[in-house]
Structure formats: structure tokens, C-alpha cells
Structure 1
């Protein structure tokens, strides 16, 4: 593994984690004091919440008693993702895996520090609300999207017409 590639992977992961932690700090210390609902658009609110479970609060009834264990599990997963990203051959996959690792680290830090993940982004439409989420969740979703795109690139490049086909096959 090249040192430059490892620095790039760590930089993307650190960016995702730092952005997540900065937004959570703003929400917890400056914006949501006291906690309230702040309507930003007809479909987007700021609404403070704490997730004691995993995705969408699943398992919160038994994970609430073990936040450090879940934080440690996320830490190990993030380390594995960083190693995978550093060994990846495509830039899209590297960035995607790094964003997922940074998001996992951001949420793991919340769990370790306060026993739950801070969520505050509330998307809704016509009375239906998506589960509240945060910057780490955005980084993770963006990372997954980049990995999916990277996996589709060989298919896209194979189906694209080559320059010889466009030029009639001769010079």
C-alpha cells in the first residue's frame, strides 16, 4: 500500500467524521438549546433525537445497556473499511469506503461518549417522517452510493460505444 493512498483514505474518513461531529456539536450546544423542532422547509426539520439501537433504532431495547460494545464493534468495522479502502484499485471505491468508515467512527464516538447516536435531520412529507438521521448517516449513504457506482463502471464502460465504432472502424 502506498503511503499517499493511505493518507488519502484517512483524510476522507477524517473529513466525514469531523463534519459529522461538528454538526452534532452545533446542534447539541448552539441550535437545539432548549430542544425544539425547527422547520427549515416544508419537508425538512431539525429535530433532536437519540438512537440507542442500530439502523432506524432497531435493537434499542437491548443495545441501550451495551453502548460501549456497539461502539467497539463499529470501531473494528471502520478499521477494516480503512484497510479495504487503502487496498482498493478504484478511486470511487476508496472514497466510498473511506466515507463509510468516517461515518461509522462518528457514530461510534457518539455511542462511546453519550451512550447513543445524536440524530437531528428530520425529512417528512404529507405527515410521513423518515427516521431522523445525522451527518454520519449521510456520509455512509454517500459512500455506499459511490461503491455501487464503482461496481457499475465496468458495465458502463463495456456498453459504451468505442471510438472505432463511432468513426466507422477505419481511419
Structure 2
């Protein structure tokens, strides 16, 4: 049976792999940059967006300098997350932290390779439209939500080993 750190590393690698493989397929298999947008389901499109900023386009005014700033910050955070993952006795915490670190590293790889993050998932329904995101973003958001829920349910105490 894997210990918390091993599970965290496994989730990190699975998240990173799923993110990078999906982006490779979007760019080179589906050729989404040439197609722009493809309806997948009535509420989901693959829509090509090159995100040169961070969440919701924040700090886009930094231009090319932002690419370096965002990458350095994300890598520093990923390193701190790996330390947290190593120290936690909780398997759930380690897995969530691994997902966040894997997602952050996936987006850093995009910035290094393409100069921007590859976003392509576009959820919409009944006139409502969410921002365009990717697997890394999904992993980060879902993992943070689970960490917050875990913290609320534990009353803010250190999570017990599971």
C-alpha cells in the first residue's frame, strides 16, 4: 500500500500526464488552433484559447515578462507543495496537493513550450458561459475544493492520517 507521499506523487504524475496528453491531442490530433471551436456536447465545446495571463486573464498587462514571472512563481509553489505532500500524514491531503502541483507544472510546461497556456474546455448552457480552461486548471480547482471541504469538516484541525 502506498504511503501518502507516494500517492501524492502518483496523482501529480497522472495529473501532469493527462494534462499534457490532452493538450498534445488538442493541438496536433484535433488541430484545434486551425478549427477554432468544435462542439462536443450541447453544453461543452473544445475552443482554442492561448492564455498569456493567469486565471480570468489577470495580470495580462505584464506581457512577455508575465510568462517568466508566472512560471517562476508556479514552480516555487509546486516545490512548496511537494514539501507539504512529503510531510502530511493524510493520503487525501497528499493526493490533493499532488493534483495542484501537477496542474501547476503542466501550465508551466505550456508557458515554456508555447509562450502561453493551452486552454480548450468551454462549458456553457442556457445562455451562461464559463471561462475556457484545461485539465490542469480542473485538477487545481477540484483539489483545492476538496482541501477546503476537508478543512471545514475537520474544524480547521490537522487532518488525521487516513
Pairwise TM-score range, normalised by the shorter structure: 0.7 to 0.9
Q: Would the aligned equivalents of 2:4 and 2:90 in 1 still touch at CA under 8 Å?
A: no
Partner of residue 117, structure 1: 117
CA distance in 2, matches of 1:8, 1:120: 28
Structure with greater Cα Rg: 1
Q: Would the aligned equivalents of 2:3 and 2:91 in 1 still touch at CA under 8 Å?
A: no
**1:81 has 2:71 as partner:** no
Q: Would the aligned equivalents of 2:123 and 2:129 in 1 still touch at CA under 8 Å?
A: yes
TM-score, normalising length from structure 1? 0.82
Q: Would the aligned equivalents of 1:45 and 1:123 in 2 still touch at CA under 8 Å?
A: yes
Q: Deviation of residue 86 (structure 1)?
A: 1.6
Q: Deviation of residue 143 (structure 1)?
A: 1.0
Partner of residue 9, structure 2: 10
TM-score, normalising length from structure 2? 0.86
Q: Deviation of residue 4 (structure 1)?
A: 4.5
Q: Which runs of no fewer than 5 residues in structure 1 stay unpaired?
A: 156-171
Shifted more, 27-36 versus 37-46: the winner is 27-36
Greater relative contact order: 1 or 2 (C-alpha under 8 angstroms, separation 6 or more)? 2
How many residues matched?
153
Partner of residue 139, structure 1: 139
CA distance in 2, matches of 1:122, 1:75: 26
Shifted more, 48-57 versus 83-92: the winner is 83-92
Q: Deviation of residue 79 (structure 1)?
A: 0.9
Q: Would the aligned equivalents of 1:99 and 1:143 in 2 still touch at CA under 8 Å?
A: yes
